[in-house]
Structure 1
Amino acid sequence: MQAWQVHEIGEPGEVMSLADVERPTPGEGQVLLKVRAANINFPDALMCRGQYQVRPPLPFTPGVEICGETEDGRRVLANPALPYGGFAEYAVADAAGLRSAPDALDDAEAAALHIGYQTGWFGLHRRARLEAGETLLVHAAAGGVGSAAVQLGKAAGATVIGVVGGGAKVSVARELGCDVVIDRREQDVIAAVKEATGGRGADVIYDPVGGEAYAQSTKVVAFEGRIVIVGFASGTIPSPALNHALVKNYSVLGLHWGLYNTRNPKLVQHCHEQLLELAARGAVRPLVSERVPLSGAAGAVQRVADGVTTGRVAVLPAAENGAVA
């Protein structure tokens, strides 16, 4: 079979190489899956760079999220067991972690209804306790993680403010359903949020960016607001001033979704059931901006790493010449 492998640490476009390898052999409690679609996540790029908390042994195949097919023909969502990741024709995954793929979504969309949407659901509902009528601010609202949070926020009855970078992403955020869109390249984010909220600020802020975005969040969070820390796509990890949180009465909440798979797997399944229901009634639908054949995976991972994509980019191993359904 063909699989992308990383033999040394570096930029994805430079260190990922396509090779003919043996199909992986499932270990105890694992299953072999034919990869129907693999979704590209920012952690894939971080793993290539050696900057992610999970560091699989070299060589490894990136790809942490797939829609796959079991040997008996079931269509499932899975997180491949590294080092046999999803940017390949076949991957292995823990049998206990398989989730049914939603009938309402195609393979590429289904692959995207997992990590990003689970993270959004846990962040907004489990950690921040978002309520209908509240204002939600989403940084990087046109990206893979942010777009999921926007849709989940709207489904929960919140007013959603999206912060993006650039005119093309402004259009995407509007199409996703943001009530207010702020272009951080053209507007003063702090002033724009205060104007949009009548000076009150946002009740919940969803931050997968860190750096300057977090600093802005502390200036626009409402009384008893909640800032949910999801990641640091900017590359800068902020150091919160806890005296400021005390004075303004807001909370800073961390979210590591992966921990729930071991600490509370029943809640992960409950979340999945909620997402299936939302997808079935059309309340959420992952934005897949690109669908590339397996041969295009390295370039696509690099584009995600460079922050020039919107929504999700999916790799489809069975696709030829990029022509896929």
Structure 2
Amino acid sequence: MKAWLCENPVGVEALRWTELPTPQPGPGQVLVAIEAASLNFPDLLIVQNKYQMKPPLPFVPGSEFAGVVQALGEGVTHLKVGQRVACLAGTGGFGTHTLAPAAMCIPLPEGFPAVDAAAFIMIYATSWHALMDRAQLKAGETVLVLGAAGGVGTSAIQIAKAAGARVIAAASTDDKCALCRELGADETINYSVHAPGGSLREEIKRLTGGKGPDVVYDPVGGEFAEPVFRSIAWRGRYVVIGFASGPIPSLPLNLPLLKGASIVGVFWGDFAKREPKANAEMMQTLAQMYLKGQIKPAIDQTLPMSELMKAYEVMGSRAIKGKLVLVN
């Protein structure tokens, strides 16, 4: 097998595309021949030693992948050789083969392509948990999605629309705003025109008739957080997904007090561990939504697995619309 090996997490440039022995699965594991693996923001942080999970060295990055089960470890009974699965294991995806925890492998139904499956679990699980569970989104409410043309942003648009919400999507270019409208957004805001320090609040006010959004979905953080929170509706829910812009914002706590609003944290990974039954039910719901055509990953482009460096470069340029997927 071949894989991208991280021996020293000092950055992308330290990764090596190298030949490795094909491993045999131990108890509770399966060997997966990888068909596709998606690039997520944590895949960048983990090779920079900036992610909360720090795997033992050396390791193969690549948190999310889809492929075919080639061998079963002891005790694995719910999967079989030849079965197609998707998995979000945290590492191992950027190669031709990997060992995966069998309990984390989701069998794929017929008609679920590998490219979509590899780009599915993290973004849709995060957005469903955020909007439907943590924010308790109701039909008829207005959702403002920040970073709306990214992976989680595009999934949030689709899930909010499927729930009957009105969606305002905020992104950084006209092209990204156009993608958001194609995915179902009712209105868009171009950050480059309506900057946080300028007319962003006025545009939110205009698009919501002065009421403000009921739910804010924020994977961006940084300078957007405070002006957007100041614009939130009475009893609004500000859903904290992550900090793709870098800085972690500090919000004045008088703001939630004055608006009767909530700051709601979202950590889907821990939810899945602490509430496995609820997570499994959620994943079944999402798979059915996909098969019904209600949700589908927005794929920016696919690249050969051997071109991971180029994929990281594209991610770093913030030019990706939706998801980038590597294929074998």
Matched, 1:315 2:322: no
Q: What is the alpha-carbon distance in structure 2 between the residues aligned to residue 122 and residue 307 of structure 1?
A: 25
Match of 1:37 in 2: 36
Q: What is the alpha-carbon distance in structure 1 between the residues aligned to residue 50 and residue 316 of structure 2?
A: 12
Higher relative contact order (CA 8 A, sep 6+): 1
Deviations 1:90-146 (A, max 9, x none): 112111111122434311111111011000000001100000000011001110110
Cα RMSD between the aligned structures? Answer: 1.3
Match of 2:223 in 1: 212
Q: CA deviation at 1:219?
A: 1.7
The code of the aligned residue for 1:5 comes to L
Task: Give yes or no for contact 1:42–1:305 (8 Å, CA) kept in 2.
Answer: no
Q: SS at the partner of 1:222?
A: coil
Which of residues 86, 89, 112 is equivalent to 1:80? 89
Q: What is the alpha-carbon distance in structure 2 between the residues aligned to residue 156 and residue 87 of structure 1?
A: 34
Which of residues 282, 286, 299 is equivalent to 1:275? 286
Match of 2:26 in 1: 27
Q: What is the alpha-carbon distance in structure 1 between the residues aligned to residue 8 and residue 289 of structure 2?
A: 41
TM-score scaled by length of structure 2: 0.92
List alignment gaps of at least 5 residues for structure 1: 318-325
The code of the aligned residue for 2:9 comes to I
Deviations 1:231-288 (A, max 9, x none): 1101111122222211111100111111122211111111111111111111111011
Task: Give yes or no for contact 2:64–2:122 (8 Å, CA) kept in 1.
Answer: yes
Worse-superposed segment, 257-266 or 131-140: 257-266
Worse-superposed segment, 276-285 or 25-34: 25-34
Task: Give yes or no for contact 2:89–2:104 (8 Å, CA) kept in 1.
Answer: no
Matched, 1:197 2:204: no
Q: SS at the partner of 2:193?
A: coil
Task: Give yes or no for contact 2:3–2:19 (8 Å, CA) kept in 1.
Answer: yes
Match of 2:59 in 1: 60
Which of residues 91, 96, 99 is equivalent to 1:89? 96
TM-score scaled by length of structure 1: 0.93
Q: CA deviation at 1:158?
A: 0.5
Deviations 1:52-98 (A, max 9, x none): 1011122221110111211211111112364xx10000112111111
Task: Give yes or no for contact 1:139–1:162 (8 Å, CA) kept in 2.
Answer: yes
The code of the aligned residue for 1:36 comes to E
List alignment gaps of at least 5 residues for structure 2: 71-80
Match of 2:245 in 1: 234
Match of 2:143 in 1: 136
Q: CA deviation at 1:220?
A: 1.6
Matched, 1:265 2:272: no
Check 1:219–1:38 CA distance in 2 against 1; reply closer, same or farther (3 A cut). same
Worse-superposed segment, 73-82 or 226-235: 73-82
Match of 2:10 in 1: 10
Match of 2:114 in 1: 107
Q: CA deviation at 1:7?
A: 2.2
Q: CA deviation at 1:299?
A: 1.6
Matched, 1:250 2:261: yes
Q: What is the number of residues matched between the two proteins?
A: 314
Q: CA deviation at 1:305?
A: 3.4
Matched, 1:288 2:299: yes
Aligned-residue identity in percent: 39
Task: Give yes or no for contact 1:80–1:92 (8 Å, CA) kept in 2.
Answer: no
Q: What is the alpha-carbon distance in structure 1 between the residues aligned to residue 301 and residue 229 of structure 2?
A: 34
Which of residues 176, 182, 195 is equivalent to 1:169? 176
Task: Give yes or no for contact 2:230–2:255 (8 Å, CA) kept in 1.
Answer: no
The code of the aligned residue for 1:43 comes to P
The code of the aligned residue for 1:41 comes to N
Q: CA deviation at 1:48?
A: 1.2
